[in-house]
Structures are given as structure tokens and as C-alpha cells.
Structure 1
Amino acid sequence: MLRVGVIGTGMIGQDHIRRMTSVLAGVRVTAVTDVDAAVAASVAASIGAASFPDGASLIVSDDVDAVVVCSWGPTHEEYVLAAIAAGKPVFCEKPLATTAAACLRIVEAEAAFGSRLVQVGYMRRYDASYRALKAVLDRGDLGAPLMMHCAHRNASVPGFYSREMAITDTAVHEIDMVRWMFGEEITAVRVLTPRRSGNGGDLQDPLLLIFELESGVLVDVETSVNIRYGYDIRGEIVGENGTAALGSLSPVQVRVAGAASDPVPADWRERFLRAYDVEFQEWIDSLAGGGQPVGPSAWDGYAAAVVSDAGVAALRGGERVPVVLASQPALYRAEVAA
């Protein structure tokens, strides 16, 4: 039984705790902590876990085999580095860290440790539809891939949401997905700004990102984050012999009052609920018997941060921005294709 300590008991932290205590097998949450000690104590009492005063003491506890980091983004580097220093596997919700330099420090620490400990929470890789799409691509049914069209649409976003967040918080999921889907790095980014939607106030929305991949494949990503009708994730690969796309929004088609409709998910939790379950179960299973995580790595978190930075620069300057990665440590060779 894997004993897990959770750092951060906000919305996503509590959802993962629920998942590990009532849905998944082979795991027990033994420790929690949060900046709000009262919330942490309440959560701990509800599941019979210990409440710790801080992340540092939780990580080194003898009752914790592995760590899940769900705290505020700027704290991620500290906790992931502490877990590496303790030699304990750590699942970190995205972002791995808030800057590419911080992500690289994590990469270097893990490479120096000598084996994989870190997994980053990019759950698109665990979604059944994306896995089916990748299987079609990998079989060669489409011939050589040429392009991919993506859309990431939200009904609305909070008032603090900035135009840069359309890249760093929203399109970053497509950034990781594209690297995994095609098994290669993104080499350059462009960002186009269409006519602004009146639904977003002063926010520049939507955006159109264009990624160039090492092989010459082009990927466009539309982000529309105030589109009102629901949460809609789309993806279509164009190959030399055909196309393949993600399936319907809903497993149910409703026919009523002379019309047929596919219900649209309300938000990311509804759309990707099962993907989170699969993601965590596979992480737990990978650690059984002292194994290593096999999901999105620290290098993947670092690469996503560098591409995001290039996207923000392209948004601000209007130019094509190359993506320049550090030299990849041997520990992560072939990680993109994994």
C-alpha cells in the first residue's frame, strides 16, 4: 500500500484526496498540509490522516512514501526539490514550477539523483479519446502527419485571467499533448490575435497559436475562453492519407423538440474526470515495489515552460519566436515519445 502525503488541500487537492481514498486501489493518504491549517486539519480528520504544519515536515515523515503537490504554483519548486532530496516520488500538479529556470533546476536535481522521481500532472495523456487518437497516428493509418487543428474553449474565466494565461494556463495543456502526440519537440511559436470577442471585456480573446515541430508538422491551437456555450476540447490530425479527430463531446445524443444535440461539458472537471482517475491509478501502479513514475517527467514540465515563455513573447511582440531548450540530460532521452 502506497502511503501518500498531500501538500495543498484546496479544490484540486481535495479532489485528488477523494480520488485516492474512495476511487483508486493500492494507495492510502496518510498526511496532509495546507497554508490554511484549519482546512488541513478538517480534511485530515475526515480521512483519518495526520495534519502537518508545513510541507517540509510532511515530506520527510516516515509515514509518507510519496508526495502529491497541489499547492500554489510558486511553492512547487521548493516542495519538488525537497522530495528529490528525500528520495521520494513526487506527483506535482502543473506547473512544475512558475519559471523555466526553476523547472530546469528541478531537472538538474533529479538528473543528479540518477533516477526518475517526478511526475507532472498533464492529464490529457490519460484521456481515452486522446489515447485513441494517438493509437491511430502511431499505427500509420494516416500516413505521415502534416498538421493538427486544436481548440480549447471555456464558457468563461475569472476576472483576474490575463491574456498571457491563455497560453500559460490554458494552451499549456495542448503544448504538452502535442509533444507527446507526435513524439518530438516544438521548435517555434507564433501567436495571431483575431477580432476580439465582446464577451471578454478588455481581454484579448480568442488567440490562435501556431506551433512548428521538428519534423515540419504545423499545429494550430485556438483558445477561446469566454465562448459561453460550455467547455469544448477539439483535436484533428491531418495526414497525407486521411484525418483523425477526437470523438463527440458527449456519449449521449439528445433528440427532443425536433432537434438533436450533444450535451457540452460545463468545465474541465466534467470533461476530464476519468482521465484524472486513470492518471493517478497509473502513477500509483508505477511506484509499486519501488518502481519509478513513467508519466510526464520533469523534462516535460521544463519543455512546456520554455514553449509557454516563447508563446508569451510571440503574443507580446507579434513575431515568430524560436524555442531554445537546454541540453537534455541522459535520464530523459526518449521521454517525449514515452
Structure 2
Amino acid sequence: MSVLRVGIIGVGMMGADHAARVAHRSANAALVAIADPDQDRAARLAARFDGVRVISDPMELIADPQVDAVIIASPGSVHEDQVLACIVHRKYVLCEKPLTMDSASSLRLVEAEAVAGAPLLQVGFMRRFDPEYAQMKRVLDSGRLGRTLLLHNTHRNKSVPNPDFRSEMIVRDSLVHEVDVARFLFGQEITSITVLSPAPTSHALPGVADPQVSIFTMAGGGMVTSEVFCNCQVGYEVRCEAVAERGTLIAGRPQTGLYSTVAGAEHGSWGGEVHPDFTTRFARAYDLEVQSWIDASRRRQVVGPTSWDGYAATAVCTAGMQSLATGEPVTVDLADRTLVGA
């Protein structure tokens, strides 16, 4: 496959960002088609690029023989049907998080891919491609710092303009990234989750529990704390600190690169601006993620987060939404991976 012909479903903020990425910042790929329920918005976006068709029906885009691979950036409520169609048509697919809205539907996609006999799905957990998070993973895996004991995550957005935003969406749509980070850095599954709700900010919509603090217990006994604050009024802040037996690592300190307390490491301070949104904070990560997906799809491989990773994250968030309602720990119910062929 010389050039990967890419179609994009959903051209809101994320889909439009990916469209520009594929068209202008990716090698060996061509943006050929987009689909979105808002036909006017789709037409305006398509007009920015040469030779991009607007296809009214996402299923028609997936089935189109002139589309080799698909990026799904539509709402999570329609992901199951769209990913399943990609599997049926043997199209490589990069699906933005969450994979689906609940663990049962995500598991159905894992099983469908197993029946198809070949991996086709990559889930859009772009932090795995962020240079600092990737470097942190390499250092932790090297064993130089001993066993990883704790992770501390911070995830803040300036505001949420959606008038239908609910407390559960903080778990399902935001915390899902911290779930994947924990599984990625520890290399283990999460066995239980507790979601706690302190006094809400006055900037939250009525009845919305924001911020939230979550605690994960890992299969090996490690623990993870995560603060998610969707209306912090400052900007977009995402960072992670790993605490190991012989040192610590921090990813996401603005302008410093990976920060380390290991003897001999350089230290710095920062006094600049906070990123306005995720498209700037993780621009490099998204570029690397999409290029990796393109390269792997051309080789007929999947190299990023898999359908199982998407399912496992959704299962944790499903348990997290139960914990949000009670404030009590909830055990994560995962299928037997060997039995579903993942």
C-alpha cells in the first residue's frame, strides 16, 4: 500500500484537528473523505483540502472501496456500530476514546475483532505517544528506579461549554485517559476504583461533581491517585508523577521536559503560560500517534493501544461511575482475556 487513503467520521474539534493532521502533517497518507451529521460543517471542512469528498452516511464511508482506513472521532454513543462496520469491512481504524459507552459493548468489539482473525483497531490514547510519557515508560521498565509504587495524575480543563455536561462524563470521557496511563506505566490491570467528590467548584453546572479524585488499586499492589477538574478556569494542565523505590519522574511540567529526582539530573523552573486546550498540549503526541497508525496500517499491523486496552479502560470507568454514585470502592469486572482471544 503506497499511500493510505483515510476517511474521517465526525468533524468536531477532534475530527477537524485530525483532518488537518492527515492532510498536511502526515507522510504516506491522503485525506479522501469525511462524514458528519452536520453536512454544512463537513462541507466547510472539506473545502479546506483538495479532493476530499463529503459522504453523508458514515457506514457508506466505511464501506467505500476508495477508503483504506478510518479515523472515528464521532460521539462515543455511535462508536460500537461504526467500529464493528470497520471490522466487517476489514478497515484499519483509529477510534477516539472512549471506545464505547460501557464495558459490555466494548467487550463485544474485542470479540468481533477476535472472530475476524486479525487486529484492526487502535484506540486513541495519545498519551502513550507523548515523548515525556513514552520516556517515563522506558525509564520505569528499565528497572533503574526499582519497582513502581505510586502514580499521581493531574488533569484539568479551563471550562466545559457543553450545557448537558454531567458528573459521569468526567469519569467516562476525561478520567479514561488516566486509566490508560496507569495500565500503560504499570503494565498491569486495575483491580478496583474509588471516585470521591469534594465540594464542587462554583463554576460547575448545578448538580455536577467537579472536581473529582479517584484512587486505583493495581493488580500488583501499586496505587494511583488522579485529580480531574474540568472547570479550573486557568487552562489545560495534564501531568503525571511516578514514585518508584529509588526515585521519581514527572511528565508534563511545562517547558522542562521529563523531570527526575535521580542524582545528577538537571532541574529547572518555569513561569510561562498554561496551554489553552488539549490540541496544543498534546499536539506532538497526536502527530506521532496518527503517523504511527498510518505506518502500521500500511504494513497491515496494529502497534498502538488495542481493542483490549479500550475495553479494559471502559470497564474501569464503568466501575468508576458506580463508585461515583456511592463514594465506595468498586471492583473492576474484567473478562478472561484468554477466553475472548485478545
- Whether 2:8 is the aligned partner of 1:6: answer yes
Contact 1:143 1:241 in 2 (8 A): yes
Q: 1:239 aligns with which of 232, 237, 244?
A: 244
Structure 1 residues 273 and 12, CA gap change in structure 2 (3 angstroms):
same
The answer to whether the 8 Å contact 2:98/2:176 transfers is: no
Distance 1:20 1:87 in 2: 21
**Residue 42 of structure 1, CA deviation:** 3.5
1:293 to 260, 281, 302: 302
Alpha-carbon distance in structure 2 between the residues aligned to 1:80 and 1:233 = 28
Is 2:46 aligned against 1:44? yes
Which among 278, 281, 301 is matched to residue 271 of structure 1?
Answer: 281
1:200 corresponds to which residue? 204
Q: How far did residue 246 of structure 1 move?
A: 1.4
Q: 1:178 aligns with which of 177, 182, 193?
A: 182
Q: Counterpart of 2:332 in structure 1: which amino acid?
A: V
Query: 1:321 matched to which residue of 2?
Result: 330
Gaps of 5+ in 1: 253-258, 334-338
Shift of 1:245: 1.2
CA contact (8 A) 2:151 2:241 kept: yes
Contact 1:250 1:264 in 2 (8 A): no
Note the alpha carbon deviations across 1:71-96, whole angstroms, 9 max, x for none. 22211111111110011111111121
Q: Does 1:97 pair with 2:107?
A: no
Other-structure match for 1:255: none
The question of whether the paired residues in 1 share the 8 Å contact of 2:238 and 2:252 is answered with no
Matching of residue 261 in structure 1 with residue 271 in structure 2: yes
SS in 2 for 1:229: coil
Other-structure match for 2:67: 64
Q: Residues 61-140 of structure 1 correspond to what in structure 2 (within 5 A)?
A: 61-140=64-143
1:248–1:262 Cα contact (<8 Å) kept: no
The equivalent of 2:155 in structure 1 is: 152
Q: More deviation in 30-39 or 114-123?
A: 30-39
Q: Which runs of 5+ in 2 are unaligned?
A: 258-268
For residues 200 and 179 of structure 1, do their structure 2 counterparts lie closer, same or farther at Cα, with a shift above 3 Å needed?
Answer: same
Summarize the Cα distance change of 1:299–1:264 in structure 2 as closer, same or farther, 3 Å threshold. same
Q: 1:278 to 1:33 in 2, by over 3 A?
A: same
Counterpart residue type for residue 294 of structure 2? I
CA shift, 1:201, in A, is 5.0
Q: Which residue of 1 aligns with 2:191?
A: 187
Percent identity of the aligned residues?
A: 44
Residue among 314, 317, 332 paired with 1:305 = 314
1:51: how far off?
2.0
Q: Is 1:299–1:332's contact at 8 Å kept on the other side of the alignment?
A: no
